[in-house]
Structure 1
Amino acid sequence: MSIQQITPKQRGYLIVNSHPAGSEATVDRQWRRIEPAAATGRAPVVLVLGASAGYGQAILLAGLRRHGVRGIGVAYEGAATERRTATAGWYRTAATSALAEGSGGDVTFVNADAYADATRAEVLKLLAERYGPVDHLVYSLASPRRTDPATGEVHHSVIKPIGSPYTSPSLLFDDGAPQVGTVDLAPADEAERAATVKVMGGEDWGLWVRALAEADLLSPGFTTVALSYVGSEITAPVYRQGTIGAAKEHLEATARELQTGVLADRGRAFTVVAGAAVTQASTAIPSIALYTSLLRNVLGEDGWRTTDDQAVDLWEQLTGAKEPALDDRGRIRLDGWELDPAVQDRVRELWADPEAALAADPAGAAWFYNQFRQLYGWDVPGVDYTVGVETAVPWPGQR
C-alpha cells in the first residue's frame, strides 16, 4: 500500500506527477460521454498501438463502448516508485481495463516499447494464442525518440521549421494566468529532419503491418489506420511545413505503399487526419496552445469536437456504417469542423492581435489550461484532492 496526499509538480507545460483518482475520473467521463450501442455480430479484434492517451485511448474506448471490440492495447508507461507516482497513462490504462471488464469486454494491455522487435513478438504470440487475426490495427504512437530495431541507433525527433527560422506568438502560463509570449526556432538541419521522420514517420507502422501479414494474422477485410494532423495555415510553418510535417508526409506515403504492397487484395490502409485536441503530444508544439485556445473561443463548447466524438465517427467509417470520408489524397478526414473556412477566417483575425483577443475573451485559454492539467489527472471535477490516494496501482492483469 502507498497511500499519499499529492499535489501537482508543474513547470510550464511539464507536470512530472499524476493523480490516480483524477486520471481514472477522466476515463470514466470519456466513457459516459460516448453513447453506447448494442454490439451486433462478431466482436472485432483490434490492436491499438498507443492505447493510453490521446486519440488511441479514445478510439479504444469508443470501440469498446459501441462495438464490443476485443484485442490488445499497447502502451509504454512508468510504474509508481517511492518518490514518484505512476504516469497518468498507467492510471488511465488501469481505469480503461476496469471499464472493459465491467462491460464484458476482453482487452489485454501490454506495457512495452512498441518500437521494439521483442514487443512485436510478444503481441503476435498473444494474438495467435488468444484472439486470432486482427480486424483493425490503430497506430497512434507519439514519442520523442525511437530505437531502430535493425541498427540499434536511437533517433530523436525535433519540432522545428524547415528552411527558414520561425517566430510566432505563443501561450504561456504563469501560476495559471495566461500570457502571450514569443517563440523563436531555428530551422532544422537535414539530420534533424531525417531523425524526426525515423521516429514519427511510417517505418514502424509498416513493420507492424508486415509482421501481422507474415504471421497470418490479418483477417479478411483488415483495415489499419494511422493518426495524423494537418491543421491550420497559421501553425503550418512549425507543423505541416516543418519536421513533424515531413514525418506525416512519410506516414501518408507509407499508407499508399502498404495499400499497393502487402495489403493488395488483403486489406486497407489509411491515414486519419484528426482535428485539433489538447493532448500530451500537442502541448509540446510551439504556438499550438495559443492557436487551440483561440479556436476554442471561436467554436465554443457546442462547435468543438472532442477526441471521443471523432473516435465514434471513425468507428462508423471503419465498420462500414458510413462510407469513409476521403480527401483527394486518400486520407480519412475528421477535421472539417476545425478547417471550416469561416472558422479559420475568424481565428486568423484573432491571431493578428492575440493579446487583445485573450484580454477580450480569456475563456479559451482557461479551458486549454484546464484540459492540459486534466491530462495528468489534476483539476478534474468531483475529485477530492485533499485526501490520500493509492499511488501503487497495479498494471491490468498484474495482481
Structure 2
Amino acid sequence: MTTREIAPKGRGYLILNSHPTGCATTVERMWESIPARKPDGTAPTVLLLGASAGYGLAILLAGLRRHGIRGIGVAYEAPETERRTASAGWYRTAAAAGLAAANGNDFEFVNADAFSADAKAEVLDRIATKLGPVDYLIYSLAAPRRTDPETGAVYHSVIKPLGQPYQAPSLEFEDTTARVGTVSLAQADEEEHLATVKVMGGEDWEMWVEALAGRGLLADDFTTVALTYVGSELTAPVYRQGTIGAAKEHLERTAAALNDTVLADGAGRAYTVVAGAAVTQASTAIPSIALYTSLLRNVLGPEGWRTTADQAVDLWEQLSGARPLELDDKGRIRLDGWELDEGAQERVRKLWEDPAGVLTGDPSGPMWFYGQFRELYGWDVPGIGYAGPVETAVPWPDSQP
C-alpha cells in the first residue's frame, strides 16, 4: 500500500500529478454512457494502438461493451515515482482492464513504445500465441517523438504553421479564471516539417500492418483504421495547413498505399477516420484549439455535443456493418458532421470575432473546457473526495493476480 496526499501540479495545459480514483471514475462513467448490447456470439480480435487516452480509449470501451471484442491494447505510460504519481493513462488502463474482466472480455494490455521493433515483436508474439488472426487494427497514437526502428534516428514533432507565421486568439486560465490571450508561432522549417511527418504520419501504421501480414496474422476481411482530424477553417492555419496537418495528409495517403500493396487483392482494407472535436491530452497541446472547442461547445450545448464515446459507438456501428460506411470523396470515414455543420460553424465564426466578449457574456463553454481538461488527469471529477491520502501504487493490469 502506498497512500499519500497528492495535489494537481503543473502549468498551462500540463498537469504532472494524476488522481487514481478520479481517473478510474472517468473511465467507469464513460463505460456507463455507452449503451450496452447483447453479445451475438462473435468476438472480433482487435489490436488497439493508443488504448489509454482520447479516442483510443473510447473505441476500446465501446468495442468491449457493445461488440465483445478480445485482443490487446498498447499504450506507453509512466509508472509512479517518488516525485510523481503514475500517469493518468496508467490509471485509466487499470480501470479499463477491470471493466473488461468484469464484462468477460479476453483483453490484455501492453505498456510499451509502439514505435519500437521490440514492442512489435512482443505484441505479435502474444497475438500469434494466444489470439490468432486480427480482425481490426485501430491506430490511435499521438506522441511528441519517435525513434526510427530501422535507423535509430530520433524525430520530434512540432506544432507550427507552414509557409507563414501564425497569430490568433487563445484561451488561457489563471487558476479557474478564463481569459483570451494571443498565440504567435513562427513558421516551421523544412526539417521540423519532415520530422513531424515522421512522428505523426503513416509510416509506423504501415509498419504494423506489414508486420501482421508478415506473420500471417491478418484475418479474412481484415480492417485497419487510423484516426485523423480536419476541423474548422478557423484552426486550419495551425492545424490542417500546418505541420500536424501535413502529417495527417501523409496518414491519409498511407491508407491508399496500404490498399494498393499489402492489403490488395482482398487481403483487407484501410481507412482513415475523421473524428470530431474533443478535449484530449493531445488536442490541448494545439494552440487555439482550446478556444475554438470552447466556442463550439457554447454553440452546440450539451445536447448537440458528440463525446468521444458517442463517436466511438458510431465508428463501431460502421466497421461492424450495422450501418453503411459514411465515406467522403477521399475515402475517409467521417464522424465529424455534427462539428462541421455549416450552421454551427457560422455561429462559431461570429463568436471568434470577439472571443473576449463571449467570455464576458457566456463563459459556459470555456469553463466546461476547463473542467474537461482537469478531468483528463482525474481532478475535479464530480463526486470524488480529494481531501486526505489516496492509494497511488496501482499495478499495471498484467501484474494483477
Q: TM-score, normalised by structure 1?
A: 0.99
CA distance in 2: counterparts of 1:144 and 1:374, whole angstroms: 22
CA distance in 2: counterparts of 1:255 and 1:41, whole angstroms: 30
CA distance in 2: counterparts of 1:125 and 1:342, whole angstroms: 50
Q: Residue 312 of structure 1 corresponds to which residue in structure 2?
A: 313
1:71 corresponds to 2:61 = no
1:55-204 equivalence runs, <5 A: 55-204=55-204
CA distance in 2: counterparts of 1:282 and 1:11, whole angstroms: 16
1:218 corresponds to 2:238 = no
2:313 alignment partner, SS class:
helix
Amino acid at match of 1:347: V
Root mean square deviation, CA, Å: 0.6
CA distance in 1: counterparts of 2:113 and 2:398, whole angstroms: 18
CA distance in 2: counterparts of 1:73 and 1:273, whole angstroms: 21
1:29 corresponds to 2:22 = no
Q: Return the offset for 1:374.
A: 0.3
Q: Return the offset for 1:387.
A: 3.0
Q: Return the offset for 1:388.
A: 1.6
Amino acid at match of 1:127: I
Deviations 1:247-305 (A, max 9, x none): 00000000000011100111110000000000000000000000000000000000000
CA distance in 1: counterparts of 2:388 and 2:131, whole angstroms: 41
1:397 alignment partner, SS class:
helix
1:6 alignment partner, SS class:
coil
Amino acid at match of 2:336: D
Amino acid at match of 1:359: T
Q: Return the offset for 1:10.
A: 2.6
| Structure 2: unaligned runs, 5 residues or longer | none
CA distance in 2: counterparts of 1:368 and 1:317, whole angstroms: 29
Deviations 1:8-40 (A, max 9, x none): 113111101100000000000000000000121
Q: Return the offset for 1:7.
A: 1.0
Amino acid at match of 2:146: R
CA distance in 1: counterparts of 2:310 and 2:224, whole angstroms: 20
1:137 alignment partner, SS class:
strand
Amino acid at match of 1:382: G
Amino acid at match of 1:42: T
CA distance in 1: counterparts of 2:83 and 2:178, whole angstroms: 30
1:251 alignment partner, SS class:
helix
Amino acid at match of 1:314: L
Q: Which runs of 4 or more aligned residues in structure 1 lie more than 3 Å from their structure 2 counterparts after TM superposition?
A: none
CA distance in 2: counterparts of 1:155 and 1:111, whole angstroms: 21
| Structure 1: unaligned runs, 5 residues or longer | none
CA distance in 1: counterparts of 2:49 and 2:398, whole angstroms: 18
Q: TM-score, normalised by structure 2?
A: 0.99
1:34-53 equivalence runs, <5 A: 34-53=34-53
**Identity across aligned pairs (percent)?**
69
CA distance in 2: counterparts of 1:97 and 1:76, whole angstroms: 15
